[in-house]
Amino acid sequence: MDSAAEAFGDYLGWTDQRHMQAGSEAATERDSLERHGIWSPARLSTAEAIEQSAKMAERAHKRFLQTVKLLHELQRSAPSLYVGHAAQINVGQQQVNVAPAAADASTK
C-alpha cells in the first residue's frame, strides 16, 4: 500500500512540475509578446525539461497502476490455511476442538 501511495505522490509531483514549467514558459512568452510585440518559440532546453517532466509523470503513474493491480491481485487470492494435526484451533472468538474418533471411543 505504501508503494502505491509513493508512486501516486511521485505522479502528482511530476505532473505539478510539468504544469509549472509549461505555465511559466507561457507566461514569459505572453509577457514578451505584450512588451515587445514579438513571439519567440520555446528554447529547446525548456521544451526538453517539460518533456522530461511529462515522461517522469508517466513513469510514476505506470508504477502506481502496477502497484494497485498487484494489491488487487493479492486481495483476490485469499490465503488458504492448512492445519495438519492440532487438538485445538482458536479462530477469533470461536474455539474449535478437534479430537480423533479413536480417542472419543476410548474415553467412553
pLDDT in tens, 35-91: 888 777 666 688 888 888 888 888 888 989 999 898 888 878 766 666 777 776 666
Contact 25, 42 (CB under 8 A): yes
> Residue 102 domain-assigned?
no
Of the candidates 54, 63, 46, 44, the one whose C-alpha atom is nearest the C-alpha of residue 17 is 54
The pLDDT confidence band at residue 105, using thresholds 50, 70 and 90, is low
> Residue 40 domain-assigned?
yes
Three-state DSSP at 2 gives helix
**For position 99, what pLDDT does the model report?**
64
Structural domain boundaries, residue 23: 2-80
**For position 73, what pLDDT does the model report?**
85
> Residue 36 domain-assigned?
yes
**For position 28, what pLDDT does the model report?**
82
> Residue 34 domain-assigned?
yes
C-alpha cell at 56: 517522469
The rounded distance, in Å, linking the Cα atoms of 19 and 85 is 62
**For position 54, what pLDDT does the model report?**
87
> Residue 45 domain-assigned?
yes
> Residue 104 domain-assigned?
no
> Residue 64 domain-assigned?
yes
When divided into structural domains, the chain yields a total of: 1
C-alpha cell at 13: 509531483
> Residue 93 domain-assigned?
no
C-alpha cell at 35: 512588451
